Structure 1
Amino acid sequence: LTAILSLFLVQLVIMTDATGNQINLSDICSVEPNQEKIVAGLRGHGLTSIIAGFFNSFPHSLFGQNVGIAAITGVKSRFVGTAAGIILLVVSFFPKLVAILTSIPSPVLGGAGIIMFGIVAANGIKRLGTISYDGNKNLVIVATSLGMALAPIAAPQLFTNFPQWGKILFQSPVTLGALTVLILNIVFNEFNKK
């Protein structure tokens, strides 16, 4: 039961991340993100994670770096993304090609990664600027979630005495921050409607 609950919560966090990436990508592509497109994206994401389970793999996660690449290059075509996926699939059958691709020096990858992750973070901050903070508890939700996400970074020993399932859930800043957002949003915004 603990393993199932842990994977359920991890998948919930991954879906939250996927939603954010879809919204950021919509902003970059100058497309209005609507509920129908986001739900379709989450369905596809969930389906690939189910298929991954049959091959004894982990739930899939969308990578924010790819959103950053779209912002840096200005290439917004889904056909380019599909072509890149096919190229990666073909290359995976040739170990020598993989060795060449993986020989890129770490500092080069690190420099590119800083820019890509920075763009993702900047888009997230930009998205937070579009939220209304008047007459609701959204400011409390954002502040508490950021604080909770920073807790495992600022005090890594905080969850040392937790049971194993608790460590899985709470030692990850992303998981802890996302769970805090979800719970507080339900408490303050959904219950208040009723």
Structure 2
Amino acid sequence: KLAGLRVLIVDDNQTNREIYEQMCTGWGYRGSSVCGAIEALAELEGAARLDDPYQLIFLDQQMPGLTGLDLASLVLSRSELRETKMLLLSSSLNRSEMERAEQLGLARALSKPVKRTTLLEVILETFEVRGARPTAVSSQSAAAGAPLGRLNVLLADDNAVNQAIAKRRLEKLGHQVTVVSDGRRAVEAVTATRFDCVLMDIQMP
């Protein structure tokens, strides 16, 4: 899926850049990397002029000078780059940064270190690749072709950006969504209410 996807990795840590580039190569993507926001902007604009634009950017938030969110704002200010998808990668995000990421419309905000499988799933979801992973269903439902219908979903995630994106997408599919921000509240919620599905981040306070 997405063979040849052009990805720009922006991170001031050389080891991180090499790891993400290797991941991209393994998935059949065309990954390149730069060490900062100014270099990234020049690379993005140059690729756009050559009519071979980047389609996805990995943004490290904690960089000297301009942060990942600063770069995202600059990218969105340029009409030729505005359609580029962006993923924010951060060791720790505070509330104001989460809110800003949501306002900028970033595809996702992920906590480092990011597992290879998690990152790939997020990329496929960002580009709305269908059938990327097989879903287990009962033989009875499969035979009948029965739709899932409206589900009552509990979403447990301490990242406000991920909460907003997941909630919006689930509600667009017609599901009812309850959001909690930690494991204790998730346990309280499932004890008090019957949910059809629980989506839980494994890294929560």
Q: Same fold (TM over 0.5)?
A: no
TM-score, normalised with respect to structure 1 = 0.24
TM-score, normalised with respect to structure 2 = 0.23
- Whichever structure has more strand as a proportion of its residues is 2
- Whichever structure has more helix as a proportion of its residues is 1
Q: Name which structure has the greater RCO, CA cutoff 8 Å, separation 6+.
A: 1
